[in-house]
Amino acid sequence: MARERSTSPQGSSSSTGAGTGKVKKTRWYHQVWQAFQITRQSDPAVTWIILAVFLGIVALGVVIGLLINQLVYVLILSIPFAVLGAMFVLARRAETAAYTRIEGQPGAALAALGTLRRGWTFTQEPVAVDPRTQDLVFRGVGRPGVVLVGEGPSHRVGKLLEAERKRTARVVSGAPIHLIQVGDGEGQVPLRKLPRTVTKLKPQLTKDEVAVVLRRVTSLGAAKLPVPKGIDPTRARPDRKGMRGR
């Protein structure tokens, strides 16, 4: 009698390792492509602007190479600079597009302030709200002191900011309080310039004093209101660790 040979299914070995697959990492070029796609939706000209910058820098390298009789060397050297120039333009245009998408929405100021890297603590909910007009005030604490950021027309939000300033002044024991209005009106700060305006404030408190002020203003509480999330303009910048293969 022929001896029966037992066979195993061909997929048995592969099925055991199916659940052990590694999660795919998001490479820097994927982030750049995503930022480009999002930017192009609101800024169709970004493609031609990036190409113009890239080719312009390369053309400049060709001219310099011809002048010094080192065409190949300078051309190769100009390509990385052309890439950096294109990335810089993309980052700027992506930042503008991000602010354009959230501008005018309640909580846009908080989304813009979220790009601040460190040194500031902002409430995730507005500390003052006008339920009738939807004007908002957000509060942050850092070494320059307390900053109150108001959203709304200047003739309305100014009163809301002043009322919150008086309420805050009762608990901060003389710490500086800065009032900033976000908007396009007279005396207001455009949304895209808000993070830069905050970072330009001069430090006046020590780290220990910041901790004390933060505890005191936290006791005041906050008004709850949903805040839209914006796009982080820094996503347009390449992940240098990913470029090195880490």
Per-residue pLDDT at 234: 44
Determine how β-strand 135-142 pairs with β-strand 120-122. Answer: antiparallel
Q: Do the strands 177-182 and 145-151 form a parallel or antiparallel pair, or are they unpaired?
A: parallel
Amino acid at the residue 230: G
Here the contacts of 128-137 (C-beta below 8 Å, separation 24 or greater) are 128/160, 128/161, 128/163, 128/164, 128/223, 129/223, 129/225, 130/156, 130/160, 134/106, 135/160, 136/106, 136/107, 136/109, 136/225, 137/161, 137/164
Q: Is the Cβ–Cβ distance between 85 and 61 less than 8 Å? A: no
Q: Are 99 and 111 in contact (CB under 8 A)?
A: no
Distances (CA, A) of 23 to 20, 26, 131, 189, 242: 9, 9, 45, 43, 15
Tens-binned pLDDT, residue by residue, of the chain (246 aa) = 444 444 444 444 444 444 445 556 667 777 777 777 877 877 788 889 989 999 999 999 999 999 998 888 888 999 999 999 989 988 888 877 777 777 777 888 888 888 787 888 888 888 888 888 888 899 999 999 999 999 888 888 888 999 999 999 888 888 899 999 988 878 888 888 888 899 999 999 988 988 999 888 888 766 555 444 544 444 444 444 443 444
pLDDT of residue 11: 45
Work out the angle at residue 130's Cα, subtended by the Cα atoms of residues 125 and 135, and round it to the nearest 5 degrees.
70
Give the SS3 label for residue 55. helix
User: What burial class does residue 9 get, using C-beta atoms within 10 Å of its C-beta: 0-12 exposed, 13-18 middle, 19+ buried?
Assistant: exposed
Kindly write down the DSSP assignment for every residue of 151-195, as one continuous string.
ES-HHHHHHHHHHHHHHHHTTSTT--EEEEEESSSTTPBPGGGHH
Q: What is the pTM of this model?
A: 0.62
Predicted confidence at residue 25, as pLDDT, reads: 66
φ/ψ of residue 177, rounded to 5: -125, 120
Whole-number Å distance between alpha carbons of 184 and 169: 28
